Structure 1
Amino acid sequence: MCGIAGFIDFTQKSDTGILRSMTDAMAHRGPNDAGYEVYEHPHASIGLGQRRLSILDLSSSGHQPMHFEQYSIIFNGEIYNFKEIRTELEKLGHSFHSGADTEVLLKGYAQWQGKILDKCIGMFAFVIYDRHAGEVVLFRDRAGVKPLYYYWHNRTLLFASELKGLCEHPSFKKEIDEKSLSLFLQYSYIPAPYTIYRNTHKLKPGHLLKVSLEKEVISEHEYWNVLNAYKQPLTHLSEGDVIRHTEELMHSAYSYRMVSDVPVGVFLSGGYDSASVAALLQSNTSSRIKTFTIGYKEPQWDESREAKKIAMHLGTEHHEWIVGPKDAQEVLHHLPEIYDEPFADNSTVPTTLVSRFASREVKVVLSADGGDEVFAGYNKFNQSLRYTGSFPRPIQRTLSAAMSVVSPEVIPYFNKQYNFASRYEKMKLIWASGKPQHALKYISQYLTENEVNYYTASPVDGYKTNFDMNGELDRMNDPLNRLLAVDYKTFLVDNNLVKVDRATMSVSIEGREPMLDHRLVEFLAQVPASLKTKDGINKYILKTIVHKYIPRPLMERPKRPFIAPLQEWFRDDLKEQMQYYLSGERLAKSGLFNVPHVEQLLNHYLSGGKVSHQKLWNMLVFQLWYSRWIEKL
């Protein structure tokens, strides 16, 4: 696991000093080694920089940039099946000088070019410079576990694992994209390919970016798309065969993620996803797996007791830390540094804390993100189908039209309920559309687009995202699977995976995502909804498998999200921070917000009004980010 950065400068003004600054801005991603090289091409200067976190082959033979024939590579990630690929390459005449997967990837590219990606099981973002072809190619893994940003403006292409790397280049302009701000306020993250800055993009998962040095053009190409998996015919396997094959794939995927030359652990929250990782791994070894949990003093949010019982049953070496508002307060001001574009998932605090906790014992940790997306765990999928299927379309359109002329503020009783105005607006939009995938979009929003325009200084027409897919979903094999595909391409990649990558990397440990092995994803994409949700039970397949290893009574309890109790903390221990950063004086500095409306929302919340704290949390996170990255120049 590493951090990579670089440039392709057609003005040929960038040098090694700039490359070093870009790369070292991400030293936390790779504290064990560093490499910086600049190559002069007739049309451009090419800089490749890498910070290395040594996980495989801890020797200096894994140093990057790495070279072979006309190719140079910088690599962030892990190729878990690199030994099998290495054996295949050795039969073709290749020899190896290291035990690193980077060398296998480099020589595999020399042998097969882009077809090497079809062979790789792993997570990755890497860049290859081909001197003979006169091109540089940027790659990102299928799921988007590893990040890669790029900036293209004024004949200069910059790229880095984190935005802070781009910010170190003198040509990079920190210009806020108001449309991206609108997306952030709606979802609490910014969906790919957009970022908070203009001319700056996230390379989309399953894509590569090719740069022609002679023609001075860039082109983006797709090599994998989860939609194609969901367009395959549904499997005709029996329920028993589906469960057996799923379990086999899980064993393989989970075992691959244990390949390491340094200690490995597992995040254990007490839910089915993380329990499945701990259970299957512990069943395959006589050594005790290290598991890590944090809990809260507030019992309604705490899962530590359940996690501890599961760990005791499995026999893992369990580590537990009970945290409180003081721990959150200490993390709060580090969040803009860790998440260097506005990012307000309400579990950033616990994820950062559990990463710090685990870093005392291990250098690699397995998380269980993706379980809800591939096994159908979220209630929002059920809601999207139910809301759009509860009435015939003519009735839905009539209800939506009626709601457009009746303000939620004048409806007795309901206007006093929690977040009623937002929920009213969402149902109006859901019934106007009538499509489950659009219902999922509105359910996923904390502020609708209309509400965002109410709180910002100037209305903007928003960007289209993967939530707005329509015709692309027509050939999907199942109505529920259509929603899983949308969530996979939005919330999973740009919220959950960002959260874990930045939190783990901030303390120089590697986070791995075993439930996103593409073989498991592709197989489950062909499983019908009738097996994913059965007899009213979400995640039926996963739960059936987990119950083979952990007694049902230990697992069956109300689902608790892995989030911090911000709603309580903001009215008490963190109240001062909220009032300071959302004060009229602070809000006015950016010129981006409608100050009186935001102040009114804050005052209503602090006086006990039934306001969604996430709306204020989003704005607070933006203000913290703005203070660090825009004001602090």
Structure 2
Amino acid sequence: MCRITGFWDLNYKQNYPLQDTLVAMRDSLQHGGPDSAGDYVNKELALGLGHRRLSILDLSPAGKQPMFLEEWVLVFNGEIYNFVEIRKKLELEGCQFATGTDTEVILKAFKTWGKKMVHEFRGFFAFVIFNQRTETLTVCRDRIGVKPLFWYWKDGLFMFASELKAFHEHPVFNKTINQQAVSLYLQQGYIPYPHCIFQHAHKLPAGAYLELDKQQAVKIEKYWDVQEVYANSSVRTDSEADLEAELEQVLTESFELRMVADVPVGAFLSGGIDSSIVTALLQKKQGRQLKTFTIGFHEEEYNEAKQAKAVAKHLGTEHHELYCTEQDFEQVIPLLPEMYDEPFGDSSGIPTYLVAKMAREQVKVGLSSDGGDEIFGGYTKYEVTQNFYPKIKRIPSFVRAMLKGGSGLVNPLWLERNSSKLPVLKNYKNISNKFPKLVNALGAKDTLDFFNISSTYIAQKDLKRLHRPYQNRYETNLSIADKRLISYLGMVDIDTYLEGDIMTKVDRATMAVALEGREPFLDHKIIEFAMQLPDDLKIKGKDTKYLLRKILYKHVPKELIERPKQGFSIPIQKWLLSSLKEPLLSIKSDQDFFNTFQLESKEVQQIIDNFVQQRTYINPHFIWFLYTLHQWYNRWIK
């Protein structure tokens, strides 16, 4: 894994130095590629490609980038896990290889097969290829959007980068804010593709190519789309036992591919279903102990370390754990605007950074088990949408409005404190976060609207008072297929939350410490298989991720796993009311901040006051979004 950046100024006016600008852009990404650096500059075309390397495969200088082949120049971030298999196919077509890298395989595959080569790839990647003869630039991003790829286009200047911070090193970069992206951020705490916080910058969609030529024609085309996968899939009618056996084979093969490396590999282990099944299937196949890593909290309500340690002991891994204090977390907070150089409000980025930092002391590759919830039906909101919305939509609208008004009087913090005494709530975590979403969703007009509302942190009417340029969270023309509601909801999350939040979190946190974070579940073969599963093999009764559980319990005792879903939760409300209270209150008097993001100052001031004085319930996650947006503004705009 590496970091890449570059530009092509088709309207260059000799107004800045090409080489110095490229080097500044490239080296702003040094944290993600500390092992070496390279660049290519074509002064005649005012074009440059830059690369920072984190050596994982073929550690010799032969893997240096940019890499050249005849008229082609390549910079590449990521890994092609099945590159050995592809290399053999290319050798049968007459190709010869001088290195042991997947980078060379990409170049020779492009020469041999053109853009269709990407259908052979299994991995995560973002790469840029420049053809010096035809003077065309080809940019590509992996199917799921695991690896980031930003691009910028204004007045003939095209730029690309793994992280936005590289653009700030270009003297012509325009920082006009994209207000639609601000709307999305305030709703959910992240900005999904193709949107970007800057008006003239974008994220290349997952599973897409971008092409640019000298005529300044920018063309984007998808080569893989999770919506198409859903639309073209049908429910398998095989027996449950046969589907279980086949899924275990698909998982094992995909997980093993993620072990390809010339450096040590380890795994993050929380003791939950996803990380435990990755660890179990890999440990079963490994000839040596797999290294596993967990961070723990001294506050029991946030601590998963005990369960992770028990799972690790059962599987026989070489387990490492680190207990973190509140001071450990607070020391990370000032780093967040630099690490996440686009507004990012997922507070679990803090523990993710800490576990990555711990793992980097012993390994150079870390396996993070994200995607299992989206692919196999693991989120509470899927269960709620499936079980409650059909009942809600039968209630007359005026009755729903009354229920919504009455429920709005219930303090979610009271529910959180008393959930263990209420039978309907005792098996759920984070009630204070989930209950207001459910209340807002009472007014939903259809299933997708219900799901979108339950995925946001502020009601639409409240957001419109706060920030007027409103942007809908997600829209699709796809209808919900019979027995495939859970797959449909997972498709929505793969297209939004997984790429925009989870992949952003893991990529930035791991690359900040020069650790390659790999995602065993995010193989397109796993997703394509799972899209064919009926809903009752994803959620059955009270069991989410039903088929995954069945496979896991063959390797790990059920009693070591069964507990309410927790995740990387941290006490942000406590921090915002104590150590972060002063910087939070400072937002109220920052008129330039309000103007930059077109926020209604009186509304923001009232929300902050209500939160700090505990007059009424304000979702602390939304306050965290405001806080991190302000911190980002101070670092990158002010």
Which bin holds the TM-score, normalised by the shorter protein?
Answer: over 0.9
Amino acid aligned to 1:629: W
Give the Cα separation in 2 of the matches to 1:591 and 1:84. Answer: 49
Structure 2 residue matching 1:472: 3-state secondary structure: coil
Q: 1:25 aligns with which of 9, 28, 42?
A: 28
1:448-527, aligned counterparts within 5 Å?
Answer: 448-456=459-467, 459-462=468-471, 464-465=472-473, 467-469=474-476, 471-473=477-479, 478-527=484-533
Residues 258-316 of structure 1: per-residue CA shift (max 9 Å, x gap): 11111111011111111111111111123111111111111101001111111111111
Map of 2:563 onto structure 1: 557
Select 2:456's aligned residue among 445, 457, 464.
445
Measured in 2, the distance between the counterparts of 1:416 and 1:93 equals: 67
Amino acid at match of 2:2: C
Quote how far apart the aligned CAs of 1:598 are.
2.6
2:549 is aligned to: 543
What RMSD over aligned residues (CA atoms) do the two structures have, in Å? 2.3
Aligned partners of 1:229 and 1:526 also within 8 Å: no
Equivalent pair of 2:182/2:597 in contact (CA under 8 Å): no
Cα 1:392–1:612 shift into 2, 3 Å: closer
Cα distance in 2 for partners of 1:175, 1:116 equals: 37
User: Could you say if the C-alpha distance between residues 392 and 510 of structure 1 is closer, same or farther in structure 2, counting changes exceeding 3 Å?
Assistant: closer
Note closer, same or farther for the CA distance 1:392–1:408 as it changes in structure 2 (3 Å cut): closer
Structure 2 distance, partners of 1:211, 1:601, is: 45
Q: How does 1:66-81 map to 2 (within 5 A)?
A: 66-81=67-82
Partners of 1:35 and 1:523 in 2: how far apart? 40
**Cα deviations across residues 463-493 of structure 1 (Å, max 9, x unaligned)?**
x45x222x23456872221111111101011
Map of 2:284 onto structure 1: 283
Is the Cα contact below 8 Å between 1:325 and 1:573 reproduced in 2? no
SS at match of 1:444: coil
- Gap change, CA 1:197 and 1:421, over 3 Å in 2: same
8 Å CA contact retained: 1:438, 1:468: no
1:154 equivalent in structure 2: 155
Distance 1:131 1:591, change over 3 A: closer
SS of the equivalent of 2:294 reads strand
Any residues of structure 2 matched to 1:156-555 within 5 Å, and which?
A: 156-213=157-214, 215-231=215-231, 232-393=233-394, 395-400=395-400, 427=439, 430-433=442-445, 435-456=446-467, 459-462=468-471, 464-465=472-473, 467-469=474-476, 471-473=477-479, 478-555=484-561
User: 1:432/1:31 Cα in 2 relative to 1: closer, same or farther (>3 Å)?
Assistant: closer
CA contact (8 A) 2:441 2:454 kept: no
2:427 corresponding residue in structure 1: none
Counterpart position of 1:600: 606
| Contact 1:230–1:482 (Cα < 8 Å) also in 2 | yes
User: Which SS does the other structure have where 2:584 is aligned?
Assistant: helix
Uncovered stretches (5+) of structure 1, i.e. residues with no partner: none
Check whether the contact 1:26–1:162 (CA below 8 A) recurs between aligned residues. Answer: yes
TM-aligned CA distance change 1:362 to 1:432, over 3 Å = closer
Aligned residue for 2:74, secondary structure, equals strand
Cα 1:95–1:235 shift into 2, 3 Å = same
Deviations 1:222-259 (Å, cap 9, x if unpaired)? 10011222221111221111111111111111111111
Residues 430, 412 of structure 1: CA spacing in aligned structure 2 closer, same or farther, 3 A cutoff?
closer
Q: What residue number does 1:97 align with?
A: 98
SS of the residue 2:566 aligns to: coil
Provide the rounded CA distance (Å) in 2 between the counterparts of 1:287 and 1:416.
47
In 1: Cα distance, 2:342 partner to 2:393 partner: 42
**1:545-572 superposed Cα distances (whole Å, 9 cap, x missing partner):** 1111111111112221212222233333
Tell me the equivalent position of 1:52. 53
Q: Map of 1:617-628 to 2, 5 A cutoff?
A: 617-628=624-635
**1:5 matched to 2:5:** yes
| CA separation of 1:301 and 1:423: change in aligned 2, threshold 3 A | closer
Calculate percent identity across the aligned residue pairs.
38
How many residues matched? Answer: 618
Length-normalised TM-score, structure 2: 0.92
Q: For residues 283 and 28 of structure 1, do their structure 2 counterparts lie closer, same or farther at Cα, with a shift above 3 Å needed?
A: same
Q: What amino acid is the match of 2:359?
A: A
Asked if the contact 2:66–2:73 (Cα under 8 Å) also holds between the matched residues in 1, the reply is yes
Q: 1:104, 1:123 → 2: CA distance?
A: 14
TM-score relative to the length of structure 1:
0.93
Pair 386,169 (structure 1): closer, same or farther in 2 beyond 3 Å? same
Instruction: Say if 1:390 and 1:225 are closer, same or farther in 2 by CA, change over 3 A.
Output: same
CA distance in 1: counterparts of 2:333 and 2:155, whole angstroms: 36
- Partner Cα distance (1:162, 1:341) in 2: 9
Distance 2:442 2:548 in 1: 30
Q: 1:377 to 1:35 in 2, by over 3 A?
A: same
The 3 A distance-change label for structure 1 pair 252 and 616 is same
How many angstroms does 1:397 deviate by?
3.4
Q: Alignment partner of 1:211: what SS?
A: strand
Q: Does 1:629 align with 2:630?
A: no
Counterpart of 1:558 in structure 2: which amino acid?
Answer: P
